[in-house]
Amino acid sequence: MSHLPANLIGRRCARVRGLWPHAAAVVLVLLLAPLARAAGTSATPEPIQAGPADAATPARMRLISQEQYFNSLGYVFGPDITVGAHFAPFRRTDGLLASGSSSAGVTIAQMQEFQRTANSLAEQVVSPANRAYLVRCTPRRDTSADRECAREFLLPVGRLLFRRPLDKALADQVVARSVEGANELHDFYGGLAVALEGLLMAPQALFVADRVKPDSARPGYARLDAFSLASRLSFFLWNAAPDDELLRAAEKGELDNPNGVAKTVDRMLASPRLETGVRAFFDDMLRFDDLAVLAKDPGIYPTFGAETIADAREQTLRTLVNQLLVKKLDYRELFTSRDTFLSPSLAVIYDVAAPPGWTAYESPPGSPRAGMLTQVSFLAAHAHPGRSSPTLRGKAVRELLLCQTVPRPPPNVDFSLLEDANSRMKTARERLDVHRANPVCAGCHKLTDPIGLAFENFDGAGEFRATERGAAIDSSGVLDGRNFEDLAGLSQAVHDHPQLSACLVKRVYGWATGGATQPSDKPMLDWLGERFAADGYRLPDLLRTVALSSAFATVREAEPGQTHAAAPAARPAPERAAGGKTP
Amino acid sequence: MIRTARLARLSRRRVLKGMLNGVAVTVGLPMLDCLLNDGGTAFASGAPLPLRFVTWFWGLGGASSVFVPKVTGADYDLPEELQPLSGVKQHVNVYTNFNAFRDSAPNLCHYTGWIVCRSGIAPLASEDKPGETIDVTIARSIGRSSRFPTVMVTANGDMRTSFSYENANSINAAEPSPLNLYTRIFGPGYQDPNAEGFTPSALVMARKSVLSGVLDQTRELEKVVGAEDRARLDQYFTGLRDLERQFDQQLTKPEPIAACHAVAPPGQDPRPGIDADIVAQRHRQLTDLMVMALVCDQTRVFNMAYSAAFASTIKPGYEKPHHTTTHEEPIDKVAGYQTVASWFTRRAMEEFAYFVDAFSKVREGEGTLLDNTLIYASTDSNWARIHSIDGIPMFTAGRAGGRMRTGIHVDGGGTAATRVGYTAMKVFGVDAASWGSKSNGTSSEVSEVLA
């Protein structure tokens, strides 16, 4: 508070107590001093919207993800440092792998992997090829310890890896380890590597633990300390640890006042690292981890290979970044826009020509290719290896984009009607009619198939087809009461569906705060949804609103005897593997 | 030979440190029990050859009419789907008519069955992973002295296909890449037990000393988190302790192992894909590497997944993957079963035969690696078409150091499938009066297969 001009505080905050970082009013508006805001669509100062007064999150201890670890180290040591490690994936929770990070444990096997990774990284950093530019000081002799040089290297690196300065005792301990190691090995750089390995696998590096300070004005609530707030911001927006400038902002107390946080957030939104963070978020939300193991039958889809899969993911992410971050368009337009990018491998699927590399591509008016639902990453991922799947596609629309839950298939399904080897059922619609006529199956298939059948003009690899086994395809359907004639109609219905933006808000909030959303978050999510709509459904504005909200920096204190993170987790959406691969 | 007792008064660290102050020297640490006894059934010290526990998983069961042998006991027949086992039948026990019980829990498709067979407990929901898997339990009994307490590998290319977990939030991710597996087992950190001489690594000692600092930092972090997160840090702490143990091992000359020999790194991973041929290729590469990992005592427990429970293995040119086929393929009126689904099962059994055979080919002492191993194979369902978990089939293979009889078909008479896992646990000395919960709880071993 002390960083805010007294008159501003007095004028704007007279009716509330303890304004920052929590809010005591439903909506707190602080008009900031003019600042160059890179994000959003307006050049004028943006008000800080704090959100519902009692919104907060549990204090969490997240296990760092493989991507976050690598991103962070890449920023610290540069892109030439490579590691072939494989951290165990988190359990998808409330629609996001990232939300599983706050409950993920470390098995012995995972611990071994952390160590292997740390060892490899440390050896690379001090290798003769890299030490000249990564270890800026020069030891008196390579063959013995040099305490000062070790300190000069290890403490700044430790600060970045731990995301806060090392206290004196720890700093001395880390340097002492390096000195001991150098003496035992007769190698300064060997000692440095040993100490660095310890830092890289330390719990402070691998776990992102929220550290809080009590808020005497609000019993039951606490505030993230500046470094925890910096970490939360950084993993949210960049999917990486804070950079030096962000840590300096925390050290200087700039994150203890709303102006300082707003300035920092705007810098982060303008950083090239934002693209990395946004890509990671959509990678998670759209379950692109499934693409890593996607396979098609080459006998049935001979043009669909590993390159197609990689390019399909890249196409969608490029399109997202271009439309949401570069052009700052309405999120919903992703589902109707004809603008995308093509690579040669995708051009084969699209049946158009494309030069090497990536090329901006606008599908012609009237083309069936319009919007994200017509991209290969969606069509092929939610299909079988050798054919399409209206059920999987319908399920994906509901669960990934609308945050709805489709029940698991029942165990006692009667498939006898499908057993006629000489079936006259040529199209998926005819086959699925069997399910929808069966009371046991109908409950779920009525949720998925009227949506999924709209995709039937695209086969399991995402190629357009006018007919299936010689029969015309009827791609009409209905989404929650909205009838449509084809996939373009479904895309428009998804665009207009109120849960489309609400789902994005829910996922962004879970991503931002590192855990599953709770029923108690509903007022906050509703408020964010309103703000998102008011801002024209622009993603940078949503990110900014979340980052500057009171809830983002406020922690609900645990009941005595409970863990900070003990609030009951929302029931996770069914996982793909658990949900079953249905017809 | 220096006797162990003479060294007991000197700590290993003290000895090695003394030797390392100066130039690195090659020392011959006590060989301990590196030599086999005259009969080749145990080490010279009398310690038995190491026992290994291995699991194998295949998805979607089989068609009972062509899977379940008609004859019980020894010299059982091999129905069509088990024909691929003809070359290893004498090593294999077949368990049929055992049930996985769900009690009041739902039958979670392709999930309840495998969870019961591996944890003894019926899951309540699709994200529920109750207890811990049997490999983790047995590894606690026999695996902690080896470099890797338990390893999970999968032939379907998907690291998420794991049948090994410590708890619901601590799953042992599967290694799908033979190249990565090779690096993990035989890359940096691997000690060739048959290497000439032994040079304790000053670097390893320095790296080990760093761990004590990391352990201290864990305690510091525990002060600022809640109870549940402290439990997660305790688990991390246990992992650190295990790393210390591994460093200690690296500072000790390993016992020579005659059967252990250098493994050539795989040239390259099989291409991505899940068609049956590629899965088989991946399965065989992983199997060969893991067999040598056992022989060289890098681990004593590992898990192989041939497929996921929702096996999506492809038959090239056939539009439906295995799982969809089990639900949609018509039953052939002549054969009386789903012929394509059966094709997938037979491919799985071919790989199980390869797996068992790989163990039987390795000489160890006067017998084979398989003689000192127990392989436990389970699936997710009996008849996948209707998600039946009654009569869920299982196999074991190997004699577990002479504690198991082999070549037997056991009809479980509708008793709990967990009896097979419980038998394995008793064979490996797990101190458990029973295993499993509710109807899956058992304290009854499968006596027919015990020697």
User: pLDDT in tens for each of the 583 residues of chain A?
Assistant: 333 232 222 222 222 222 223 333 333 333 333 333 444 434 444 556 688 988 999 999 999 999 999 999 999 999 888 877 789 999 999 999 999 999 999 999 999 999 999 999 999 999 999 999 999 899 999 999 999 999 999 999 999 999 999 999 999 999 999 999 999 999 999 999 999 999 999 999 999 999 999 888 788 899 999 999 999 999 999 999 999 999 999 999 999 999 999 999 999 999 999 999 999 999 999 999 999 889 898 889 999 999 999 999 999 999 999 999 999 999 999 999 999 999 999 999 999 999 999 999 999 998 999 999 999 999 999 999 888 999 999 999 999 999 999 887 777 665 655 545 445 666 777 777 776 677 667 767 788 888 999 999 999 999 999 988 888 898 899 999 999 999 999 999 999 999 999 999 999 999 999 999 999 999 999 999 999 999 999 999 999 999 999 999 999 876 544 444 333 333 333 333 223 333 3
Chain B interface mutation, best of A65, A93, A107, highest count of B Cβ atoms under 10 Å: A107
Are the Cβ atoms of B316 and A385 closer than 8 angstroms? no
Task: Quote the distance between the C-alpha of residue B110 and its chain's center.
Answer: 20
Q: How far apart are CA A375 and CA A40, in angstroms?
A: 27
Residue A54 CA to residue A24 CA, distance in Å, equals 8
Pick the closest to residue B416 from B435, B396, B442 (CA basis): B442
Q: Is there a contact between A325 and A275 (Cβ–Cβ < 8 Å)?
A: yes
Residue indicated by tokens 């700039």: A254
pLDDT at res. B255: 86
- Helix (H) or strand (E) holding A221, with range, is strand A221-224
Sign of CA dihedral B111, B113, B116, B117: negative
- Give the pair of three-digit tokens for residue B40: 């080749």
Cβ A106–B239 below 8 Å, yes or no? yes
What is the C-alpha to C-alpha distance for residues A555 and A532, in angstroms, rounded to an integer? 23
**Sequence-ordered alpha helix ranges (H) in A89-140:** 108-125, 131-134
Integer CA distances (angstroms), A128 to A155, A190, B220, in order: 21, 11, 35
Q: Positive or negative, the Cα torsion across B30, B33, B34, B37?
A: positive
B residues 158-187 closer than 8 Å to A (CB) = 158-160, 165-173, 175, 180, 183-184
- Cα–Cα distance measured from residue A123 to residue B162, given in angstroms and rounded to the nearest whole number: 31
Token pair 């304290």 is found at B443
CA A114, CA A123: separation in Å to the nearest integer?
A: 14
Query: What is the Cα–Cα distance from A214 to A230, expressed in whole angstroms?
Result: 18
A 102-131 → B contacts, CB under 8 A: 103-112, 114-116, 119-120
C-alpha B114/C-alpha A326 separation (Å) is 48
Q: What's the rounded Cα separation, in Å, for the pair B124 and B106?
A: 7
Within 10 angstroms of residue A483's Cβ, the number of other Cβ atoms is: 11
Query: How many of the other CB atoms lie within 10 Å of CB of A549?
Result: 27
Tell me B80's DSSP state: G
Give this prediction's pTM. 0.87
Q: Do B327 and A110 touch (CB under 8 A)?
A: no
In this prediction the ipTM stands at 0.86
User: Which residues have C-beta within 8 Å of that of residue A517, sequence separation ≥ 6?
Assistant: A94, A506, A509, A510, A525, A570
Averages of pLDDT over each 10 residues, chain B, 451 residues: 32 35 32 41 61 97 96 97 98 98 93 97 93 96 88 96 95 95 91 89 93 86 90 94 91 89 89 94 97 95 97 91 90 94 98 98 92 98 88 97 97 98 97 96 97 94
Give the tokens for residue A84. 């072939």
Q: What angle do CA B345, B349, B353 make, to 5 degrees?
A: 175
Choose among A194, A293, A408: nearest Cβ to B207: A194
Check residue A24 and report its DSSP letter. Answer: S
The residue whose two tokens read 């449509």 is: A484
The residues, any chain, with a CB within 8 Å of residue B38's CB and separated by 6 or more, are none
**DSSP state string for A237-303:** HTSS---HHHHHHHHTTGGGSHHHHHHHHHHHHHSTHHHHHHHHHHHHHTTGGGGGG----TTT-TT
Tell me what pLDDT residue B444 has. 97
Tell me whether residues B229 and A211 touch, CB distance under 8 A: no
**Terminal CA-CA length for chain A:** 59
Q: Classify strands B367-368 and A471-472 as parallel, antiparallel or unpaired.
A: unpaired
**Token pair recorded at residue B113:** 């069955």
Orientation angle between helical segments A258-270 and A539-548, nearest 10 degrees = 150
Cβ–Cβ under 8 Å, residues B4 and B30: yes
Angstroms from A294 CA to nearest CA on chain B: 8
Question: d(Cα B222, Cα B233) in Å, to the nearest integer?
Answer: 7
Which residues of B fall within a CB distance of 8 Å from A190?
203, 206
User: Who's near A167: CB < 8 A, 6+ residues apart?
Assistant: none
- Look at residue A458 and give its three-state secondary structure: strand
Distance in Å, alpha carbon of A167 to nearest chain B alpha carbon: 12
Min Cα distance B371 → chain A (Å) is 27
Say whether B403 sits in a helix, a strand or coil. coil
**Which amino acid type is present at position B196?**
E
Task: Mark A31-47 as b/e (b = at least 16 C-beta within 10 Å).
Answer: ebeeeebebbeeeeebe
